[in-house]
Amino acid sequence: MTVYTTTASPLGELMLVGELRPAGVALTALSIAGGKGAGAQSDWVEDQAPFVSVLDQLDGYFAGQRTRFELDYAVGGSEFRRRVWQALDDIPYGRTVTYGDIAARVGAPRAAMRAVGAAIGANPVLIVRPCHRVIGANGRLTGYAGGIDRKRQLLELEHAG
């Protein structure tokens, strides 16, 4: 069963979506209101209870007390996307890397840079899978499903550089 909840955050309202499992909820999406992927589907059940741990971890992150998330994910994607997403998970808190760095980490040739960017852009769990830590080769902030201003907010929260 798909469950969801919303919560206030310094970035605006967040929507969390997950699949109920015997051990709890497996997060399938985390989006920001007004951004890509926001909005509940008619067959989803609204229920905050399964997300208590996720919400606590997000609160800790926004308070500057948590630098890593410990969550169960249930996101699909091709094997290539999963490799790219794993590379995102490996970016340390407070650090930024370039799209080229991610491509090198997953063994993608320079010609596959668009595919790497598309995989990063398809990340369904914003904030907790830190695609906001990926910047352009020139140091500029580029593409973020939650918007560049929110990407900047997250990097400032982490004192990233």
Same domain for 59 and 88, yes or no, is no
Same domain for 101 and 141, yes or no, is yes
Q: Which domain holds residue 145?
A: 79-160
The tokens of 144 are what? 């973020």
β pairing state of 2-7 and 45-46:
parallel
Q: Does the predicted TM-score (pTM) go above 0.85?
A: yes
The confidence band for 37, taking pLDDT boundaries of 50, 70 and 90, is low
Residues in Cβ contact with 20 at an 8 Å cutoff, skipping those fewer than 6 apart? 1, 2, 3, 50
Q: Which of 131, 134, 135, 154 is catalytic?
A: 131
Is 144 labeled as catalytic in the residue annotation?
Answer: no
Q: Which helix (H) or strand (E) holds 2?
A: strand 2-7
Instruction: Please indicate, yes or no, if residue 68 is contained in any of the structural domains.
Output: no
Instruction: Please indicate, yes or no, if residue 44 is contained in any of the structural domains.
Output: yes
Same domain for 149 and 84, yes or no, is yes
Instruction: Please indicate, yes or no, if residue 74 is contained in any of the structural domains.
Output: no
CA–CA dist 125, 37 (Å, integer): 10
Query: Which pLDDT tens digit goes with each residue over 1-30?
Result: 999 999 999 999 999 999 999 888 999 999
Q: Which of 95, 68, 67, 90 is nearest to 161 (CA)?
A: 95
Query: Which pLDDT tens digit goes with each residue over 129-150?
Result: 999 999 998 999 998 888 899 9
pLDDT score at 34: 67
Same domain for 85 and 53, yes or no, is no
Instruction: Please indicate, yes or no, if residue 70 is contained in any of the structural domains.
Output: no
